[in-house]
Amino acid sequence: MTREEIIAEINSELAEEFEIDEAAITPDAPIYQTLELDSLSLVDLIGIVQTKYGVLISKAELPNIKTFAQLYDYIEQHQK
Amino acid sequence: MGIWSCIGTTLDEVRDALYQGKSGIIFSQERKDAGFRSALVGNVPKVDLKPYVPRNLRNFMPEEAQYGYIATKQALEHAGLDEDYLNTHEVGIIYGNDSVAEATMQSLDKFRQANSTVACGSGAIFQSMNSNITMNLACLFKLRGINLTASAACASGSQSIGLAALLISQGLQDCVVCGGAEENNMYGIASFDGIQAFSIREDEPTKASRPFDASRDGLVPSGGGATVVLESYEHAVKRGANIIAEIVSWGFSGNGDHISTPNVEGPARSLELCLRNGGVDPKQIGYINAHATSTVIGDRREAQAIAQLFGERTVPVTSTKSQTGHEMWMAGASEIIYSTLMMKNGFIAGNINFEKPDEETACINVLPETKETHFDMFLSNSFGFGGTNSTLIVKNV
């Protein structure tokens, strides 16, 4: 998938799953605050990325993904 | 009291439906297409909790917890227990539930499909535990007293009320939220359909549930949620509560016999214990809300147990399951609400579809049509698989 395709798909998926306005998802927006993630619902983000792209975000790498742009980068680099 | 059922989602709607003899049973094409022998079911509206519970908390709530939430929200409002009160007083919860089928199935399907446990989702562990209703409601409503799920098959709702009344009578709790809820999706009862316990009168859905009637051919599954708030008399008076009714006594027993076929002796002991615990003479009971689910054997055995304690064809008996179908884990609580609504509004809802008894159900006085009458005390039976029996006596205030 191209980066543009990934962005369109993941944004739509996340907006639906976390019940937020898709317009709030911008490349520089903070993921945790925007999706209102806590230690449990974070698992749902990881699950979506794994199910959609076969990419398992490791615990060690999680702290490095703070914005949506960083999430797109991670998926793009690791997708199978 | 709060209720979410196939005959109404407010106390007023339910009162009117009971009086009018309305049936909540429909035919489900979805179930037929899926392979059900009997596609009859209670038509329980889905709950939209979006206006009340944020996504991250709703994510922990399977269908039965959603029904439990909406019934409890109503009940707390009805009881005048607001957020401030719950934040500053110790209120407990004992709630009946005995299945988590759909939530468990969905999360394990995702796990097997993805070969990954993460795919189950963050809510799955909470949704797939039998105590999901009490764990969710205690957190959402800030309940800080007893926190316990009663799992006693189709007596779960009744046992929850009995246990709460016992804790209160012992001075261990002042106020307990109790009730029962039942998931109403097809996965929860597919295996129940498989043992051919359901009515197959699919051409006449509203006539399918006919407890005590000679032509009954099985039960109709239903679900929803029912909540009652119990508190000590002193607690109720102190906070200026509108007292609706009094739990006089609880009786219970086990059959210690067959897993699905009830006997007469076990239920009779539950009735007897309840009468004895309350010091109640059978003549004081103005109405019996029977457990009777519309199965051939179960209705017979209950009729005989009632006749054994009350004499033949004496006290009026009906089963509200003729209108609602069998609400299972919820039934023991919802039927306390149905009966209380009747008591407070001066009528007994007729046992719809009752045309004539068979030889063994003829020993009790089944009212086929709604009767306007005054009564001040009723008895409600709930019996479940494994021979678990629970009986409650409730008095007007």
pLDDT per residue as tens digits for the range B323-361: 999 999 999 999 999 999 999 999 999 999 999 999 999
pLDDT of residue A80: 74
Please tell me if residue B374 touches chain A, with a CB cutoff of 8 Å.
no
pLDDT in tens, chain A (80 residues): 899 999 999 999 999 999 999 999 999 999 999 999 999 999 999 999 999 999 999 888 999 999 999 999 999 999 87
Q: What is the pTM of this model?
A: 0.96
A43, B21, B59, B71, B366 from B369: Cα distances, Å:
55, 8, 44, 28, 9
Number of H helices, E strands in chain B: 15, 15
Q: Distance (Å) from the C-alpha of residue B394 to the closest C-alpha of chain A? A: 43
> Per the structure block, which two tokens stand in for B118?
């993460």
The ranges of chain B with pLDDT < 50 are none
R_g of chain B, CA atoms, integer Å:
20
pLDDT of residue A58: 87
Quote the CA–CA distance of B76 and B190 in Å, as a whole number: 33
Mutation target to probe the A interface, by most A beta carbons within 10 A, among B55, B110, B136 is B55
pLDDT of residue B274: 98
pLDDT of residue A59: 82
CA end-to-end distance (rounded Å), chain A:
10
Is the ipTM higher than 0.85? The answer is yes
Of A36, A40, A50, which is closest to B122 when you measure between CB atoms? A40
> Residue B41's beta-bridge partner residues?
B26
Comparing alpha-carbon positions, the chain B residue that sits nearest to A58 is B118
Is the Cβ–Cβ distance between B218 and B299 less than 8 Å?
A: no
Of B55, B56, B119, which is closest to A47 when you measure between CB atoms? B119
